[in-house]
Structure 1
């Protein structure tokens, strides 16, 4: 069984469809990070394990979910809970880690429709990815919110960021540790109706993410 950590804040509209598409052998762990729309109850009603995290921030939610994952089976996936990714693609993402070909597999978003990935967010992502390739030598093109890694390996890295800088800190630290990192193309869909990205949905959200990630690069 491979655990799937789903950091969640106000994703009640997306969760039923997302959880229904979870492939066999993949167990969802919904990490409720201050939802006010009943996301936790919806997730439980659709068979997911739910944990609540009071500390705000994407990194805080992911870290709590990883701690809650099964240490025996070992591999854990992380993906957004807003319906923008297809859970059916998780086996392809996790494959390189499960077979020992990589320590970290991360998704490279491929939009399925116009407007899925706003220009301001795509541009910020491209700049950060370029800086990552230049400074850390990690050959990726997307600081994306979907990945697969062995639970114990991830905890060993000792990541500290609990905000939007978490994905970038993971890639930098993995590069410094000499990890084999592979990038897998994944479809990037419009979010479920009634949800909005906390990062790409607004220019302000993107600026906050860039601020957090820039702080990580400066360390």
Structure 2
């Protein structure tokens, strides 16, 4: 199993995050221009490090996806807000065939884990997702799992904050079975680059509205049609 960890100045969080990666799974840390030595720390802790010079959350995620080789790929934030030790529960439905894309629904353990403006933005996003796709979801789910080859076949193009949403929308358009499973959400280590401020949240919502305005593509692949080759 490969775990993609987009990383921008997460030196403080990396040791805990990498320590919690399940045994036998490969951590792919995608350094997105860190200046705090994150890449060197990740490498010293045994992670496979990929450098993505183009700044953007989606750019980092997609660089990790293209570097992955496992049949199933997981994504997880690298700020210690989510526990990678829970990834087997998220990936389980993908492995047993009961889900194609599984999202970790964040359940904050304290009020400060999820600022109010970010929660409100998430509620609005869930409403817009339902209107666009028919899916009744509670969270965009930064911790997630799916099969690698079908993910690549979605031809994701967003390289900013809209990447996770574009993955979800295109998966829904392709008829994927999308599921949620609860995961604890803790206060992140360090300052958030997106949801830590109203400005960052607004830019993320703007990127996501552009994704929701996309028309469904006709050539997307269902995971069951591409499942055998990557094993």
TM bin (shorter chain): over 0.9
* Residue number in structure 2 paired with 1:56: 55
* Residue number in structure 2 paired with 1:218: 213
The alpha carbon displacement at 1:66 in A equals 0.6
* Residue number in structure 2 paired with 1:164: 161
* Residue number in structure 2 paired with 1:34: 33
Instruction: State how far apart, in whole Å, the 1-side matches of 2:92 and 2:49 are.
Output: 25
- What CA deviation, in whole Å up to 9, does each residue of 1:146-200 have, x standing for no partner? 11010001000111101000111111111110000000111101112xx211111
Pair 1:176-2:176 in alignment: no
- What CA deviation, in whole Å up to 9, does each residue of 1:30-78 have, x standing for no partner? 00001011100010111101010011111111111011111xx300000
The secondary structure found in structure 1 opposite 2:200 is helix
Structural mapping, 1:1-219, within 5 Å: 2-70=1-69, 73-192=70-189, 195-219=190-214
Instruction: State how far apart, in whole Å, the 1-side matches of 2:37 and 2:125 are.
Output: 34
Contact 1:6 1:79 in 2 (8 A): yes
The alpha carbon displacement at 1:25 in A equals 2.5
Contact 1:138 1:171 in 2 (8 A): no
TM-score normalised by structure 1 residue count: 0.96
* Residue number in structure 1 paired with 2:225: none
The secondary structure found in structure 2 opposite 1:115 is helix
- What CA deviation, in whole Å up to 9, does each residue of 1:79-100 have, x standing for no partner? 1000000111000000000111
Corresponding residue pairs, total = 214
The alpha carbon displacement at 1:139 in A equals 2.4
Q: CA RMSD in A?
A: 0.9
After TM superposition, which residue ranges in structure 1, 4 or more long, deviate above 6 angstroms? Answer: none
The alpha carbon displacement at 1:24 in A equals 1.1
In the alignment, structure 2 segments of 5+ residues that lack a partner are 215-231
Instruction: State how far apart, in whole Å, the 2-side matches of 1:135 and 1:157 are.
Output: 17
